[in-house]
Amino acid sequence: MLLSDGDLMEGVSAEAASLAGHLKLGKLICLYDDNHITLSAATSMSFTEDCAMRFAAYGWHTQMLENGNDLAAIDRALHAAQAETERPSLLLVRTHIGYGSPHKQDTYEAHGSPLGHEEVILTKQALGWPVDPPFYVPDQALAHFRRAEEQGKRAEAEWDKRFSAYAQAFPVLAKEFQQRMMGELPHDWDRHIPMFQADPKGLATRVASGKVLNAIVHTLPSLLGGSADLDPSTHTALAGMGDFQVPHHEADNLQGSTGGGWSYAGRNIHFGVREHAMGSIANGLAVHGGIIPFTATFLIFSDYMRPAIRLAALMELRVIFVFTHDSIALGEDGPTHQPIEQLASLRVIPNLLVIRPCDANETAVAWRVGIESRDRPVALILTRQDVPTLDRTNLAAADGVRRGGYVLTDIPDGNVPDIILMATGSEVSLIVAVGRQLAQHQIKVRIVSLPSWELFETQPRSYRDSVLPPSVGARLAVEAGATQGWRKYVGNDGDVIGVDHFGASAPGKVLMRQYGFTVDDVYACAMKLINLKGQAWIDTRLSQQQETMGKK
């Protein structure tokens, strides 16, 4: 791996290098292109730390090379790095940017801009190269790269031969290896995923998620991941599946061990408090193949790993990012820990699939979708607090998550609803309760669960219009987060109950009440939208209602 000054200055390299040293990743070899020049300046303007000492502090093996053009010395150093199997290796190689250019060598002008026609000629002359042709490849270099091609072919043939022998000796394992590298799932990988019984008290979706994870881990050997020092909070520990650590005796007794022993076969990665590196490492695992990596932290800390999430989306990687503690309802940790804009900020990343399930059974489906999704990362947004496990005998099945949004409950006669209430996550049970109250007042109400905008958008228009009929203007969306983006679903005549300001330090229930996430508040807002339909409409409804009351 090649590193620049910029890479070493960015915090993510410090996080990753510290963990690599801790894990004694002896196969990792990095070459630092130490040219003393950044994009805009000499490194002496901003970067004067002792890199060799810093990496030694991380537990790395380091070698200084004074001349980046001394290929034999670099070759020797690479061999020494390969021989070192207990520590990652850093080769600090002194180079010269724009090497050979009479006017641009060792200047930042050579960083971002081409040398230019004239300077290219001067450089070639200085290096004793022919000026023509303009794109000149020395025979020696060509022969060297051609040899590499041959070497690659031989290595591949050798690998194929060894794999064939392996497949003959261990046909089941070989097939599993191939399937995993192809990204295919085992036949019935999801057979242990539980059905959660209806329960008004319910459980937090982070807890449901933990149960699902620990159900699939046994049938899905590709699954590997962990949290940024939050296992007890994110419920993402894979119990008894071993810690990804340097093999060690008595390690299970260590605080934080997930059980099952320390080894490189352990399936729990302890990333430490390093969100950015966590996301980047998960991306690397996904690129490697054979692994379905997951990460976990609080939703607020998605901000710390945003560049990694974006790269996963851009590179179409299969990574599952678990984010718990997903709203102001997390309570006393206060505004620094309460996500407001994070959900909207994740939804706006192209190709990232965001799912905020409303109860335990939607959480199970969200995990299915996440594992099945091959060419895009998935962010699962989960509650800290308990949410009711909805009684699906009266409501649509949680499998509706697959379509992103679905009608959870509707007016019985199939008429056009007076109003549509929609929500995600912890606010769905709230609108279900409001819907019950509205129905008592003869309002025809439809309740929509909308756990994933991205999945909903991929549905045909006919389906989307069947869930949110264009003829119904009275629409109310409820979500404990920023309202940005909801207008596309509620339209000109609808409204959104959200949180467009920072939170506060108080128990979660107090905050939810304070910010309007109560049956009374949502009911009042729904009635306001309905009242916009005009007095005639209300009079009709009221007379209908009085008739019904009279009958009782």
Q: Give the whole-angstrom CA distance, residue 59 versus residue 26.
A: 11
Binding mask 509-538 for its own copies (x = CB under 8 A): ------------------------------
Distance of closest approach, residue 12 Cβ to its own copies, in angstroms: 5
Closer Cβ to its own copies, 355 or 438, answer by number: 355
Q: In this chain, which of 95, 179, 219, 233 binds its own copies, going by CB under 8 A?
A: 233
- Compute CA distances 205 → 294, 322, 356, 358, whole Å: 17, 11, 9, 8
Which of 473, 488, 477 has the alpha carbon at shortest distance from 534? 473
Write out the two tokens for 282. Answer: 């998960």
181 binds its own copies (CB under 8 A): no
Give the residue numbers annotated as catalytic, written as ranges. 275
Distance of closest approach, residue 245 Cβ to its own copies, in angstroms: 7
39 binds its own copies (CB under 8 A): yes
349 and 313 in contact (C-beta within 8 Å)?
A: yes
Find the helix packing angle between 519-531 and 428-440, rounded to 10°: 60
Q: In this chain, which of 216, 281, 349, 445 binds its own copies, going by CB under 8 A?
A: 349
Give the CA angle between residues 484, 486, 488 to the nearest 5°: 115
111 and 39 in contact (C-beta within 8 Å)?
A: yes
H-only helix segments in 298-414: 306-314, 342-347, 360-372
Distance of closest approach, residue 122 Cβ to its own copies, in angstroms: 20
Cβ contacts of 14 within 8 Å, gap of 6 or more: none
322 binds its own copies (CB under 8 A): no
Which of the stretches 206-214, 334-342, 394-402, 407-415 binds its own copies when contact is defined by CB under 8 A? 334-342
Q: In this chain, which of 3, 51, 438, 450 binds its own copies, going by CB under 8 A?
A: 51
Closer Cβ to its own copies, 350 or 550, answer by number: 350
356 binds its own copies (CB under 8 A): no
Binding to its own copies (CB under 8 A): which residues in 5-24? 5-6, 9-15, 18-19, 21-22
Q: In this chain, which of 140, 168, 255, 462 binds its own copies, going by CB under 8 A?
A: 255
Which of the stretches 75-83, 135-143, 163-171, 310-318 binds its own copies when contact is defined by CB under 8 A? 310-318
**DSSP E strand stretches across 131-257:** 199-204, 223-227, 243-244
Omega of the bond leading into 194 within 30 degrees of 0 (cis): no
* End-to-end CA separation in angstroms for the chain: 78
Closer Cβ to its own copies, 313 or 365, answer by number: 313
Distance of closest approach, residue 301 Cβ to its own copies, in angstroms: 8
Phi, psi of 336 (to 5 degrees): -65, -25
Phi, psi of 535 (to 5 degrees): -65, -40
Which of the stretches 139-147, 186-194, 385-393, 483-491 binds its own copies when contact is defined by CB under 8 A? 483-491
Binding to its own copies (CB under 8 A): which residues in 61-120? 107-108, 112
Which of the stretches 57-65, 117-125, 168-176, 374-382 binds its own copies when contact is defined by CB under 8 A? 57-65
